[in-house]
Amino acid sequence: MGLLANLALVFVAGLVTALATGLGALPFFFFDDIGDRWNVVLWGLASGIMLSASLFGLVEEGLAEGTPLEILAGMAVGVALVVVAHRVISNAEVDPREYEEADFRKLLLVLGVLTVHSFPEGVAVGVSFADLNLGTGATVLGFTVPALAVFMTVAISIHNVPEGTAIAIPLRAMDVSEWKMVWWAVFSSLPQPVGAVVAFAFVRLAREFLPFGFGFAAGAMIYLVLTEFVPEALETGVDLPSGGKPELVGGVLAGVLLMVPLLYV
């Protein structure tokens, strides 16, 4: 397979993860609201999946390709990029109801917010395809797909479902229609296929940076879990017994238990 065909497959994998975000809005076709308890569990589930994908997928594979120092350097840069991006957009207030009428400056702001949260996940998918058609893995549509690529695509897709639900909850409060909630949930993850293609092309052309790429994606995702997902869950569960901590821990454990067996499939 040529480079363009490989890039197309990686883009499709990233697009699948983005489309999975829209599934998180589907419950609102049947229910008016999702309680805080389940919302905390969903945040925990997303966190557990993200941590599993980072530690058992990216970091472990990175250590097989390079040194711990290379992994740590990549993780540091991944965290730094997210921190800097957050500071740039920290004072921004984005109202989803204004998306359709957004001026150019507002559009750039919206895309910036989405990229900070979704691009690292796309990078994770992209670097996991580094060994695409290099002789190991399952054969899919004529492509030899590495097991790590399948694992990361499934992991990010499942993780995106509760993330889509979290995006849809405030939209429901704004009386946004169900199909528009699905669209905005998918829209929030559209940087992922772009990130996947960019990361894949980079590590294929400069393979010596592959361990760094694994560390970069892992560091950014772990940082997002610790600084956004967990605090958001605790804030949502503040009125629950024990502050929602049991639900959060249960969700995290469920996410880990869901993903770890896929490493051995």
- pLDDT per residue as tens digits for the range 22-74: 998 898 888 877 788 888 998 899 899 889 889 888 898 889 888 999 999 99
pTM of the model: 0.80
The DSSP code sequence of 92-118 is ----GGGGGG--HHHHHHHHHHHHHHH
Phi, psi of 206 (to 5 degrees): -135, 70
What H or E segment, with its residue span, contains residue 144? strand 143-145
Q: Please choose, from the candidates 163, 157, 168, 162, the residue with its C-alpha nearest in 3D space to the C-alpha of residue 25.
A: 168
Given a cut of 60, whether residue 108 has pLDDT beyond it is no
Q: In this predicted structure, what is the pLDDT of residue 236? A: 87
Q: In this predicted structure, what is the pLDDT of residue 100? A: 47
Rounded Cα gap, residues 55 and 256, in angstroms: 10
Q: Please choose, from the candidates 171, 187, 253, 206, the residue with its C-alpha nearest in 3D space to the C-alpha of residue 70.
A: 206
Q: In this predicted structure, what is the pLDDT of residue 105? A: 55
What H or E segment, with its residue span, contains residue 40? helix 36-52
More confident residue, 90 or 71: 71
- Model confidence at 95, pLDDT cuts 50, 70, 90, reads low
- pLDDT per residue as tens digits for the range 153-210: 998 998 888 888 877 877 777 777 889 889 888 988 888 999 999 999 988 888 888 8
Rounded Cα gap, residues 9 and 143, in angstroms: 9
More confident residue, 133 or 221: 221
Domain ranges of the chain: 3-28+43-264
The DSSP code sequence of 145-165 is E-HHHHHHHHHHHHHHHHHHH
Q: In this predicted structure, what is the pLDDT of residue 102? A: 47
